[in-house]
Amino acid sequence: MNVSDNIRGAILAVCAFGIFSVADTVVKYESQFVPVSAVTAMITGAAALFIALYAVLKGEGRALVPVTPAFTLGRGALLASETAIIYYAFSAIPLTDVYVLTFLAPIFVSIFAIVGLGERPSPWVAAGVLLGFVGVLVAFRPGAMGFGLGHFAAAGSAMIFAVTLVMIRVAAPRESDLALVISPMVILAIGSSIFTALTAGFPAISAGETALLLLAGFCLFAGNLLIVRAYRVGAASFLAPFQYCLIFWGPLNGWLVFGASVELFTWIGAAIIIAAGLMVLRAERASA
């Protein structure tokens, strides 16, 4: 693996997390009016349709069928559960609170990559991961938050998400990106649809709400496609710190959509996170 692979993976990861943040914001907004299970079913169902359409237009419809079904569907079930858990967190607590706790994922990724994949990041890369997490703590001061079920859900989702990212690195080379992306969407769409039908039921939605849900579904499709490709070309321990870019997207979307203010500590933490990312990049170039 060379530097260009890791840099390319980092660019893809940053784009993916920015796209994910749009879907997250729609979930947070729509869950004020629609049961979160219904929001989840509609968004993931739309994402699955976008993935299928993309595959057909590219003439790769057969790539949607996994060649390693046990592995791919198992990872899909894990990622589906992670998505359902974090969507609950978005409906229960502020966006910034969720992101504080999901920023544990890069730490988990690095640990899992070292233990499970045998990756040996340099001391500077490890320091960059830890420094990025310190920046998150400075930005959001989680010690001042009251913890509820939504906070525990966000923390749990971070661990599951980290496992699914590392699993990408051990996926069979012949397994297609499309199969890895569509599996969790189909599983979650079916599961959340059944749950919604048995509980609150699907409410009537306006044309505007439909457009928002379709936008979120497209973002879920695009973000998952980019993150799978990122972790297939780059080392997991190198890419892990770039999830911290959500510190910019979270406050920005919170301010634009919900009028949440951005405090000075957020920007101080952002500066620390930028330094951490530069540290990782410099260490990677120096080791080339």
pLDDT digits (tens, 9 = 90+) for 74-131: 999 999 999 899 989 988 887 777 877 787 777 777 777 777 767 666 777 778 778 8
What is the percent of the chain with per-residue pLDDT over 90, rounded to a whole number?
36
280/45: higher pLDDT: 45
Mean pLDDT of the chain: 84
- In 3D space, the residue among 97, 107, 197 whose CA is nearest the CA of residue 148 turns out to be 97
279 pLDDT band, cuts 50/70/90, is confident
* pTM listed for this prediction: 0.79
Is the Cβ–Cβ distance between 164 and 82 less than 8 Å? Answer: yes
Residue 14 vs residue 279, higher pLDDT:
14
| Nearest CA-CA partner of 27 in 90, 79, 83 | 90
Question: Would you tell me the crossing angle of helices 3-30 and 95-102 to the nearest 10 degrees?
Answer: 150
pLDDT for 281 equals 61
The structural domain count of the chain equals 1
Q: Which domain holds residue 250?
A: 3-286
The burial of 74, by beta-carbon neighbours within 10 Å (0-12 exposed, 13-18 middle, 19 or more buried), is given as middle
